[in-house]
Structure 1
Amino acid sequence: MKKKTEILDAASIQRALTRMSHEILEKNKGGENLVLIGIKTRGVPLAKRIQQKIKQIESIEVPLGELDITMYRDDLDKVSEQEEPKINSVSIGMDITDKHVILIDDVLFTGRTVRAAMDAVMDVGRPSTIQLGSLVDRGHRELPIRADYVGKNIPTSDREIVVVQLSEQDQQDLVSLYEK
């Protein structure tokens, strides 16, 4: 893979998350009745950052959950025998019934991860709404799914890969575009 360009630096990521937090509060008329759920792996720290920004803005702590969608993927049959999938139960850690659930992920691409996350959420409870926030929307949807809150739209080709690095896992905040 060859690095083409840097799309978002640390400051740009923070500005995007601040804007997304304000949009979440505006659309939902405040932070009451909200639940943030980060999709593992990089959606979790992004959800935590949005939770902190909402706390700064509204002085309330929105409940936060984590979601591992491994067993909900539609490509499990394509995983090789050496790559035995980890079985993780779905546990969001709170009642989501009649709440406004906001799924948070790093990159929105085909929409299949989001579809799997929605299936997992519906197995846990019946939220009032499910909304989606994504730091990067790169296009190429295979399912009729769109994000309600987007940090940056980055039109890409099939030969390009968006790489999100977050300090919680990668020691730096950076979004880059690579070519295969």
Structure 2
Amino acid sequence: MTLDLDKALASMKQQLAQYCQQHHIDNPIVVGIHSGGVWVANEILDAVPTDEELATLDITFYRDDFTRAGLNPKVGHTQLPALEDRHVILVDDVLMSGRTIRAAMNEIFDFGRPASITLAILFDLNSRELPIRADVVGEQLSLKSNQRVKLSGPTPLAVSVIETH
């Protein structure tokens, strides 16, 4: 299976611009989830009507599998401005179970109560364990149970489908 990264990013940019216009969202805070979400957010930031710098979120300590998986040696930095009553666009590379997004929202609410959270995902795998859906999706994918999407980057940003078994 071949994935068209440029097409998915272009689709996200177009959808985000329309979404912000339709929902009257001005100057939102764009938050990328480490690490793939940060890479994607950097690529789409120019399509969002904001003067804010990109914010980053590391959800390592908020994951529900933290005690099973242990500490990830690649812990990133969370850099968030004040979120109270602000519109947040939360960006990640892949939506699979929904658990990463749940953890990200838990962390966001520890920094304040945003006016709204818009979820923007590069690739949606349609395999949820939690009732979480994206507002903006670059591309919907149907993969075999042993396949996963792997984003590598940030320069160059590339995507592939890998076998897990």
Query: When the two structures are superposed, what TM-score results if normalisation uses the length of structure 2?
Result: 0.85
How far is the alpha carbon of 1:89 from its aligned partner? 9.2
Query: What's the secondary structure of 1:20's corresponding residue?
Result: helix
1:89-133 C-alpha deviation (Å, 9 max, x unpaired): 974331122121111111100000000000000000111111111
Which structure 2 residue ranges, 5 or more long, are not aligned? none
Query: What's the secondary structure of 2:143's corresponding residue?
Result: coil
C-alpha separation in 2, matches of 1:19 and 1:159: 27
> Is 1:119 the equivalent of 2:106?
yes
By relative contact order (CA 8 Å, sep 6+), the higher-ranking structure is: 1
Q: Residue type matched to 2:68 in 1? A: K
C-alpha separation in 1, matches of 2:111 and 2:154: 30
Q: Residue type matched to 1:14 in 2? A: D
C-alpha separation in 1, matches of 2:163 and 2:16: 30
Root-mean-square deviation (CA, aligned residues, Å) is: 2.4
C-alpha separation in 1, matches of 2:158 and 2:132: 27
Percent of aligned pairs with the same residue? 33
Specify the alignment match of 2:19 in structure 1.
27
Specify the alignment match of 2:67 in structure 1.
77
1:140-168 C-alpha deviation (Å, 9 max, x unpaired): 10000011111111112322122222343
Query: When the two structures are superposed, what TM-score results if normalisation uses the length of structure 1?
Result: 0.79
4+ runs deviating over 4 angstroms: 85-90
User: Which of the two has higher C-alpha Rg?
Assistant: 1
Specify the alignment match of 1:152 in structure 2.
139
Query: What's the secondary structure of 1:6's corresponding residue?
Result: coil
